[in-house]
Amino acid sequence: MTTETTAAPRKRKPRNFALLSNWAGAAFLTPAGILVSVFVIVPFFWVIFVSFTNRTLLGRTALNPEFVGLGNYLTLFDPATFFQRGQFGFSLILTTQFVLASALLGQALLGLLLAWLIQTVPPWVKRITETFVIAAWILPEVVIGFAWFAFLDRDQGTLNMILEGVGLPPGDFLLQQPFWVIVAFNTWRGAAFSMMLFSSAFSSIPPSYFQAADVAGASSWQKFRDIGLPLIHGHIVTDLILITMWTFNTFTPFLLTNGGPSYRTELVSIYNYRVAFQDFQFGKGAAVGVIMMLINLAFALIYLSIGRKKKVR
């Protein structure tokens, strides 16, 4: 016993078995380092710098931007306009609702359901389901956007043809329920990732657990609740954080609604695009970009800390 305790937690000394000398290693890293600094680090600080100016692309402030300090940030968070349609706060709230509805409820739940269901179906059904769900995920965004536009069109859309075919009233979805359209769209588009993640998590559970439950006469719901769910708990957290980040940043709904009508689908990413590249207010757009970076950073930190905890465990 005593010998074991002395031997166990010996600190490992980092062994230096370099293939190259330090200088040669640095020389090989330099091109990559330059590329990263030119395309990542410099723009990062440039955006932060621009966010403190009133720089525009057109008009007088394009050539002679002034330093406005926190002016852009104060405008974005001005309580008098914050909640107005087409303002930053409005799109921030809209984005939160969008993430809750389409990512956390839509994608994660649908993905979980699909992953659970395809565990028990015959392999060919499983393959077909996976193919369709993953196709929705990997097809080019412009193609997808166009297809959905055609699907939802009031006059010639497939959806209304189906609705009328079964005797239901047709709808003007893109104008009447634009928010639910992009929620449905993003759920459909992104469920594949959750499905794949959960599916591999479920298949890593030893089949004997379920066989034992079968012997005990457990229902499918009981097996799901008491065996499946607890054992993939870690995967669920990972999934939720990742899809929250992706959905928060997604721009694809722009292809369906242009952020309209009347700002009702103007997510933060679309708001940022409008301010910077349609209104050409680079300073204000950069400020929005910085805030988005900070929010993403927060998500990333949560994600990393959870990952670290898992490793420690």
Partner 1 sequence: MSNRWRAVALGVAGAAATAIPAFAVDLDVTCRCVIGGVNSGTAEWIENSVIPAFEAAHPDVDVRLNQFGGEDAQLTQQLALDFSTGAGPDVSAFDGFLIPSFVEGGLLKPLNAVAGEAVDSWTGWAALSEGSRALMAYQGDYYGIPLGTDVRMLYTRKDILSEAGIDAENWQPASWDDILAAARAIKQVKPDSFPIQLNAGVAMGEATTMQGYWLALLGTGEGVTDESGKFIVASQGILDTLNLYKTIYVDEQLGEQRAQLLADGRNRSFANFRDGVTALLFEGDYFYRSVTPEGSEFAVPDRDAVLGWAKIPAKAPGAGIRGQDFVTISGGTGFVINPATDAPAEAWAFLSFMNEPEQLAAFQAIQPRITARTDVEIPNNPFLTETSQALLPLTTARPNDPNYNAVSAEIQRMTEAVVSGELSPEDAMAQYGSAVIAIVGEENTVSLL
How many residues in the shown chain lie near partner 1 by CB under 8 A? 25
Cβ atoms within 10 Å, residue 65: 16
Out of 1, 40, 58, 294, point to the residue binding partner 1 (CB under 8 A): 58
Amino acid symbol at 242: L
Q: Cβ closer to partner 1: 126 or 264?
A: 264
Instruction: Please choose, out of 139-147, 210-218, 277-285, 292-300, the segment that lies near partner 1 by the rule CB under 8 A.
Output: 277-285
Instruction: Please choose, out of 52-60, 100-108, 120-128, 239-247, the segment that lies near partner 1 by the rule CB under 8 A.
Output: 52-60
Instruction: Please choose, out of 20-28, 125-133, 230-238, 258-266, the segment that lies near partner 1 by the rule CB under 8 A.
Output: 258-266
Q: Cβ closer to partner 1: 54 or 186?
A: 54
Q: Does the protein bind partner 1 through residue 80 (CB under 8 A)?
A: yes
User: Mask 212-251, x = binds partner 1 (CB under 8 A)?
Assistant: ----------------------------------------
Largest distance between two CA atoms of the chain: 82
Region of 270 (left: φ > 0; alpha: ψ -120 to 50; beta: rest) is alpha
Q: Is-cis flag, bond preceding 140, omega within 30? A: no
Q: Does the protein bind partner 1 through residue 79 (CB under 8 A)?
A: no
Q: CB of residue 85 vs partner 1: minimum separation in angstroms?
A: 7
Instruction: Please choose, out of 28-36, 112-120, 170-178, 294-302, the segment that lies near partner 1 by the rule CB under 8 A.
Output: 170-178
Q: CB of residue 184 vs partner 1: minimum separation in angstroms?
A: 19
- Using the 8-state DSSP alphabet, how is residue 121 labeled? S
Using the structure block, give the residue that is written with the tokens 């393959």: 127
Cβ atoms of 276 and 293 within 8 Å: the answer is no
| DSSP string covering 136-201 | HHHS-HHHHHHHHHHHH-TTT-HHHHHHHHTTPPP--HHHHSHHHHHHHHHHHHHHHHHHHHHHHH
Between residue 171 and residue 200, which ones bind partner 1 under the rule CB under 8 A?
Answer: 172, 174-175
Q: Does the protein bind partner 1 through residue 261 (CB under 8 A)?
A: yes
- Using the 8-state DSSP alphabet, how is residue 81 labeled? T
Q: Which of 294, 230, 244 is nearest to 97 (CA)?
A: 244
Q: Does the protein bind partner 1 through residue 85 (CB under 8 A)?
A: yes
Q: CB of residue 266 vs partner 1: minimum separation in angstroms?
A: 11
Cβ atoms of 203 and 116 within 8 Å: the answer is no
Residues of this chain that bind partner 1 (CB under 8 A): 56-60, 62-63, 75, 80-81, 84-86, 154, 172, 174-175, 258, 260-262, 277-280
